[in-house]
């Protein structure tokens, strides 16, 4: 389904519309933004897709892999290779986690040919959510929301490995009442970087502060992103700045692309039902 080269510019052949998909929720969605995962599932089910959620899924292994612990990353990956026995696509609501599975699972399993072959088979049918909605399902529902201007953030690894900025822009462009405001720090890291923000908090804070300033400068009413780690880092930094400035209202609210798409196209996001 793809050539051996690595990254968002790699040509990819997309399958026809499947009857079912596996949903890989990611640990950040599971622990911090479960409503984004539920809204992503609703989007898929509304398109007539049966969603299978493997119960024993955990972290994709990216924190261990990018922190220089390949053995630990391999154990995380190996424990999940049996979770997707059918030949259904695997849909991931995070570009960075999808990139880890698609490009790096086979690397961490390279020392064992049998494990590597299984990881490659899973990688070949792994899709980031926006990519799957756009290129496999042809998502193009009527925009039922009022006119608004938003700004888009895509994680730096997801841009490089999964082209999330391109598919995100295209999905937003299909919403007739939504204007996308581009910001001048779009390709720069927000400072989260998994364990990077924990190991280098001062550098991370400086990076996310620059990102927040760039996003606010667009005048957009809200941030939309398909990576929850970045979203939490950016919106919490903006909230801290609001607190320090004595602002009662959020100056940069944000939500996952799945939630935004669902709300704009007549759905009822999980978080709105609380």
Q: Are 171 and 164 in contact (CB under 8 A)?
A: no
CA 104, CA 97: separation in Å to the nearest integer?
A: 10
Confidence of residue 207 (pLDDT cuts 50, 70, 90): very high
Query: Comparing C-alpha atoms, which of 66, 97, 99 is closest to residue 229?
Result: 97
pLDDT of residue 9: 65
Per cent of the chain over pLDDT 90 is 84
113-165 residue pLDDT tens: 999 999 999 999 999 999 999 999 999 999 999 999 999 999 888 999 999 99
Res 168: pLDDT: 96
pLDDT band at 2 (very low <50, low <70, confident <90, very high): very low
How many contiguous H segments (helices) and E segments (strands) does the chain have? 14, 8
CA 199 to chain centre: 23
CATH of 148-273, one of 1.10.3720.10, 3.90.180.10, 3.40.50.300, 3.40.50.11810: 3.40.50.11810
> What predicted TM-score, i.e. pTM, was given to this entire model?
0.93
Q: What's the whole-number mean pLDDT along residues 16-35?
A: 96
One DSSP character per residue, 180-217 reads EPP-TTTTS--S-TTTHHHH-HHHHHHHHHHHHHHHHH
Mean pLDDT over 203-208 rounds to 92
Over 60: is that where the pLDDT of 195 sits? yes
**What is the predicted pLDDT for the residue at 272?**
82
Tell me, what's the pLDDT at 201? 85
pLDDT value for 1: 33
Local confidence band at 8 (pLDDT 50, 70, 90 cut-offs): low
Return the minimum-mean-pLDDT range out of 94-98, 148-152, 162-166, 185-189.
185-189
CA 81 to chain centre: 21
Q: Where are the domains of the chain?
A: 20-135, 148-273
């Amino acid at each position: 389904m793809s050539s051996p080269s690595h990254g968002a510019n790699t040509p990819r052949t997309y399958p026809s519309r499947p009857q079912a998909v596996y949903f890989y929720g990611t640990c950040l969605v599971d622990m911090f933004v479960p409503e984004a995962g539920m809204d992503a599932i609703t989007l898929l089910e509304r398109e007539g897709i049966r969603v299978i959620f493997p119960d024993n899924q955990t972290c994709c292994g990216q924190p261990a892999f990018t922190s220089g612990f390949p053995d630990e990353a391999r154990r995380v990956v190996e424990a999940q290779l049996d979770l997707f026995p059918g030949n259904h696509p695997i849909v991931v609501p995070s570009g960075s986690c999808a990139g880890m599975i698609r490009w790096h699972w086979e690397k961490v399993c390279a020392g064992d040919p049998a494990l590597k072959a299984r990881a490659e088979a899973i990688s070949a049918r792994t899709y980031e959510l926006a990519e799957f909605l756009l290129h496999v399902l042809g998502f193009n529902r009527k925009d039922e929301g009022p006119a608004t201007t938003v700004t888009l953030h895509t994680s730096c690894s997801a841009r490089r490995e999964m082209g999330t900025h391109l598919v995100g822009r295209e999905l937003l462009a299909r919403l007739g009442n939504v204007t996308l405001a581009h910001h001048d720090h779009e390709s720069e890291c927000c400072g989260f970087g998994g364990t990077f923000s924990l190991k280098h908090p001062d550098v991370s804070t400086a990076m996310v502060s620059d990102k927040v300033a760039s996003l606010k400068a667009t005048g957009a009413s809200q941030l939309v992103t398909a990576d929850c780690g970045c979203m939490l880092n950016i919106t919490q930094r903006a909230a801290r700045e609001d607190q320090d400035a004595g602002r009662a209202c959020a100056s940069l609210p944000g939500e996952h692309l799945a939630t935004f798409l669902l709300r704009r196209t007549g759905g009822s996001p999980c978080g709105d039902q609380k």
